[in-house]
């Protein structure tokens, strides 16, 4: 805290998909990437790739095993070698030759089919900003260590509707099956931001 201001962390996500499979979740510390088949039909991922770009660095590319299929309604988590996952196909795959998916303030994860076409993506942007200590205290948190950025273990508040992601009827977790969605979250607050009208529908992450 400097001069009565507090450093906050803002997480913005955009996701899209043009097929059955979505980039459902990415770990900001580079431990894993999770894909989900939202359809009621199996999807072959043979010769498909997952491309991860961190900032302006060279992309990291994972190639699926030959004949790999993602079952209808199923998920697959691709773990980096140091991510702590256990190799258990077809739900968990460990990328033994890659220690991390990479971490940073700008993460782009793209699913590419066997023809080189982009089928799904998720873009995560993390920014730090300063705000007066007594301004909307209920909607933000101070930044801590790396664990501050684990979206699945922190309270997430949608900046569009002011509801927590796990509140019934509010924002829901999971991937976006189609179109492009953009949302901004403030980490760690336990109460919705006051003074916002709640839209009827809000789908985040």
Instruction: Give residue-wise pLDDT tens across range 145-159.
Output: 343 334 443 444 444
Distance CA 95, CA 183 (A): 30
Burial degree of 132 (CB within 10 A; 0-12, 13-18, 19+): exposed
Domains parsed from the chain with CATH numbers:
12-123 (2.60.40.1260)
- Per-residue pLDDT at 92 exceeds 50: yes
5 against 40, higher pLDDT: 40
pTM flag (> 0.75): no
In whole angstroms, how far apart are CA 37 and each of 20, 59, 89, 92, 109? Answer: 6, 24, 15, 14, 16
């Amino acid at each position: 805290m400097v001069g009565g201001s507090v450093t906050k962390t803002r997480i913005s996500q955009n996701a899209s998909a043009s097929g059955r499979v979505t980039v459902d979740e990415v770990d900001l510390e580079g431990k894993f990437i999770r894909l989900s088949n939202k359809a009621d039909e199996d999807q072959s991922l043979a010769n498909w790739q997952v491309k991860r770009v961190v900032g302006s660095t060279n992309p990291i590319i994972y190639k699926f095993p030959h004949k790999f299929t993602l079952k209808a309604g199923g998920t697959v988590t691709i773990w980096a070698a140091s991510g702590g996952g256990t190799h258990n196909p077809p739900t968990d795959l460990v990328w033994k030759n890659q220690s991390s998916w990479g971490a940073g303030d700008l993460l782009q994860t793209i699913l590419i089919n066997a023809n080189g076409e982009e089928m799904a993506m998720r873009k995560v942007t993390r920014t730090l900003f300063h705000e007066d200590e007594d301004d909307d205290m209920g909607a933000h948190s101070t930044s801590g260590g790396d664990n501050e950025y684990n979206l699945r273990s922190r309270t997430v508040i949608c900046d569009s509707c002011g509801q927590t992601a796990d509140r019934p009827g509010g924002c829901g977790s999971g991937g976006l099956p189609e179109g492009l969605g953009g949302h901004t979250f403030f980490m760690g607050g336990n109460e919705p931001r006051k003074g916002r009208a709640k839209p009827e529908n809000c789908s985040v992450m």
